[in-house]
Chain A
Amino acid sequence: MACNSASCESGCYKDDERPVAANGNASNPRRGGVNVPGVCLKCKINQTIAVTHPAVAGSAGEGGRFCADCFRSNLLGKFRFAVTSNAMISPSDNILVAFSGGSASRYFILFSHVLVTQKNFDASRERERVLPVFGVGVAYIDETTMCAEASSEFGEAANEVELIVSNLTPPTKQFLAIPTESIYSPELAVGRDSLKRLGDVVRDLTGKEDLNKHLRMLSLQKAAFDNGYNKIVLGTCTSRIACHVLEATVKGQGFSLAADIQYVDARWKVPVVLPLRDCLSEELNMLCSLDSLKTVEASQQPRAGINGLISSFVKLLQEENPSRESTIVRTAGKLTPFSFNKTPEVDDPNERLATKRRQKKYNLKPDKSQPPESFCLVCSSPLKKSNTSGLNGLALEETSAVIYAAACSSCQYQILPKDTSSMEHFLSLLPQSITTLAKDSSDSHMFLREQIQDLLLSDSDDGT
C-alpha cells in the first residue's frame, strides 16, 4: 500500500474519499475489490465506525474501514496471535502490568482474561480443566522525584489509576504505586536526593529522558521481583516501537536495536513481554473510546530533545501514510534478534515439546545465536565487542575508563560525564544495583583494562 512515487496514479490513498457510485446504489458488497464507503470492509454488512461513531473515528483509517465489531475482533486477533505464537504467557505465571494510565496497558488489563481460554495452550486435554488462571498485578510508576515540575500531576494520576484498578472486574488485582526512588531502597530519602542530583548532573536533555526511562525499568524490575511476579507486561505498541527504532538509529544504537523491539525480552531478571506490539496506538485509543474504558492522560511532559523531534516526525509521517508505523516496525523486525529475545525455556519435557510444535506451527526459526558477552551498565543494551573507541580524547583515569568502556556509545555520549572527577560524583548518585555492576566490571575486566592502557593518562602527564 505504501507508494513511494509522487506521480503514482493508482490512487491508493484516495480509497476513503472516493465519491459514491453515480447510480446512487451501493454496489454489490460481495463483488470483489469494490469498497463501498461507509460499509465495513470485513463483514461487508455493518456500517463503519466512521458512520456509527463519528466522534470516536477521528482521522484513523481504521474508523473508515471497519465496523465496531470487526474492529474489536481484528484488534483482539492481533493481540491473541502475539501472545500465543510467542508463548508469552502461561497459566502458572504471575504477571505485573506496567500501567501508566494509557490505553495500551488499559486494553491489556481488560482483555487479559481472554488469554485464559485453554485451547491456546499446547497442554494435554486432561490438564486443561485444572490449570489455574495466571495472576495479574498492576504497577504504576510515580516519577514525582524525577520530574519535580509535574509532581502534583503524578499524584493525581496515581489516584485515578488506583481507582480504575479497584473498579476492575474480579479477581482483585494488586495495585503497586512505585516511586522511582524505590530502586535505592531501603534508603528512600537518600534515593530521592540522589535522583534529583542525577537530573542536574546529566546535562544532555535526551540523555536525561533516556536515563529516566532506564530507571523506570529498574523500578519495575525491583517491584516485580520483590512482590513475587515472574513476568512484566508493557503496553508498548507499534507506534511506540516505530519511534524507538528511529531513536536508536539516530543515537548510533543500530547493533542493539533488535533487542528492544521483540515480543519477548528475557535479558532482565524478570522477563518483559509486549503483547500489544502489533497494535497501533491509534487503534487502542479508538477502542478505549468506543468501549468507554477509562484511561488517564499520561502525565508525560512533551518529550524534549531528540525523542520529541522523532515523536513529531513519526506523527507527521503517519498522517501522510497510515501504514508508516507498521512499515517501520516491519523493516526493523528483519534485524536479527538476540538469544534472550525468546521466552525462557522451562525444564519441563512437555513444555519443550510444546515449544517445538509452536515453532513449527508459526514457522519460527530456532535461535542459534550466542548470548552477548556484556551489557551496557546504564541501559542494559547488548554491547558490541570493540567498545573502546568512544574513549579517545577523554581525560580519564583507570577506574573511570573501565566504567566508560562498560557502557554503550550512546550512554557514553549523552549520560556519562566526560572527566574523572565528575565520574566519581556521578557514580555516587547511582543506585547500588548499577554500581555493583560497575564494580564487577571493574574487577573482572582485566582484558578491557589492557585494551585501554594506551588511552589512559599516567600520573606524570598531569604534572602531579
Chain B
Amino acid sequence: MASEAAAETAAKPRGGRLCTICNTKRAALKRPKTLEQICKDCFYAVLEDEIHRVIVDNHIFKRGERVAIGASGGKDSTVLAYVMSELNRRHDYGLDLFLLSVDEGITGYRDDSLETVKRNEIQYGIPLKVVSYKDLYGWTMDEIVKLIGLKNNCTFCGVFRRQALDRGASLLKVDKIVTGHNADDIAETVLLNILRGDIARLSRCIYSPNAYRGFAREFIKDLERIRPRAILDIIKSGEDFRIATHTKMPEQGNCERCGYISSQKWCKACVLLDGLNRGLPKQGIGRTRGLDAERNKDSRETNGTQSLQSKQCGSLDF
C-alpha cells in the first residue's frame, strides 16, 4: 500500500487520489466491502458509524444494561472493545461495560492473549474479569488432556468454551454479551450448516469449532477475491431461507443437572464433565442418536449414561 501511494504521488503532482468521502485527505486504502478509496480517518468514521447504526436500528441495548464484551485478545475482540467503549461514550448509550475473558487453563496458550486483554483494559478503561474452566467446571484443559489424551480434547474445549462465556456472564449478573463475530464468521457458519445438513442450526447460527471449517474459510477467501459483497450476500441468503415449519427442530429445554439451556436431558458440558469425574473419558464423544433427538425420546432410554456413550457414526439416522 505504501509503495502504491508513493507511485501515485510520483505520478500526480498533487499527492495522489483523494478520499471519495471527505475529498480532502489522500486516500490511504480501498475499503474491502465497497471498494471505495478512502482516507484513514474516514475509514474509522464509516466503520464506527455503521456499527452504531446496527446498534440503534436493531435496538440492541437499553440504558443502564450491564454488558460483557467477550474478549479473547484477538483482533476482532480488540476492535470490539475499542468500538464499544468509544460509541458508549460518544453516543451516550449509558452502558456498564466490562471485558470478559475465558481462561481454559492451557499453559502457555492464553498467556499472550490475556496480556493483550489486560492491555485493552488499560487502553480503553474497561474493567476486566477472567473466568477460568477451573472456576466453572473444576477442570483446566491441561488436567483434562492429562486424563483423556490429545484425541478428543477439541470437543471438550469447544463445548466448555461455548458455555464459559454464558456461564461467566451469568455469574457476573450480566444483561447482554457482545462478541466480535464478523460477517466472514457468519457467512462461514451459514455455508457450513448447508454443507453439513444442519437445518436447525441454519436458523440459529451457533459457532462450532471444527477442523472442517478450514475448507469453508478457504472458499470464502477465494470468493471474496472475486466478489467482495458475496460475503454479505451469503448472510442475506441465510436470513431469507424459508424453512418448512414441519421440519423437526430440537426442543429447547433445560439441563437437569445444571439448568443450562439444552435440547437433551443433560447439556453437553454436563455429559462430558460427568464422564471426566467418573474416569470415563469417552463419554459424550461421537454423535448421540440423531442431531435433533427430541427430549421425550431421550428420557425413555436414559437412566444415567448408557445411551450417551459414544456410538459409531454409522448409526446416525440421517
CA–CA, A410 to B233, complex, Å?
A: 9
Given A252-B233, A309-B226, 14 more A-B residue pairs with CB atoms under 8 Å apart are A2-B196, A2-B197, A6-B154, A7-B152, A7-B154, A245-B194, A252-B234, A252-B237, A254-B240, A255-B237, A316-B215, A328-B197, A336-B245, A409-B233
Contacts of A245 in B (CB 8 A): 194
Do the beta carbons of B286 and A5 come within 8 Å of each other?
A: yes
Q: Beyond A7-B152, A10-B313, A249-B190, is A255–B198 a contact (Cβ under 8 Å)?
A: no
B-side contacts of A305, CB under 8 Å: 226
Given contacts A7-B154, A250-B233, contact A334 B223 (CB under 8 A): no
Given A248-B237, A306-B230, does the pair A255, B197 have CB atoms closer than 8 Å?
Answer: no
Number of B residues near A (Cβ < 8 Å) is: 47
Bound-complex Cα distance A258 to B202 (A): 15
Give B contacts to A, CB under 8 Å.
151-152, 154-155, 190-191, 193-199, 202, 210-212, 215, 219, 222-223, 226-227, 229-230, 232-234, 236-247, 286-287, 312-314, 316, 318
Q: Which of A6-36 contact B (CB under 8 A)?
A: 6-10, 12
B234: chain A residues at CB < 8 Å are 249-250, 252
Q: Which residues of A contact B229 (CB under 8 A)?
A: 413
Interface pairs (15), CB distance under 8 Å = A6-B210, A10-B286, A249-B194, A249-B233, A251-B233, A251-B237, A253-B237, A257-B241, A328-B194, A328-B195, A331-B195, A331-B197, A331-B198, A336-B242, A409-B236
Interface residue count for A (Cβ, 8 Å)?
45
Main secondary structure of the interface of A (DSSP, over half): helix
Residues from chain A with a CB closer than 8 A to the CB of B191 are 246, 249
Closest chain B CB from A238 CB (angstroms): 14
Docked CA distance A94–B185 (Å): 49
> Smallest Cβ distance from A367 to chain B, in angstroms?
11
Contact pattern, A 329-341, Cβ under 8 Å of B = 1, otherwise 0: 0111011100000
The reply to whether the CB of A173 lies closer than 8 angstroms to some CB of chain B is: no
Do A331 and B194 touch across chains, with their CB atoms under 8 A apart? yes
Contacts of A365 in B (CB 8 A): 246
Of A8, A257, A334, A410, the contact of B199 (CB 8 Å cutoff): A334
The 7 closest A-B pairs by CB, nearest first: A254-B237, A252-B233, A6-B211, A254-B240, A255-B240, A336-B242, A10-B313
Residues on B with C-beta less than 8 A from A320 are 215
Whose C-beta in chain B lies nearest to the C-beta of A414?
Answer: B227
A7 B210 Cβ-Cβ under 8 A: no
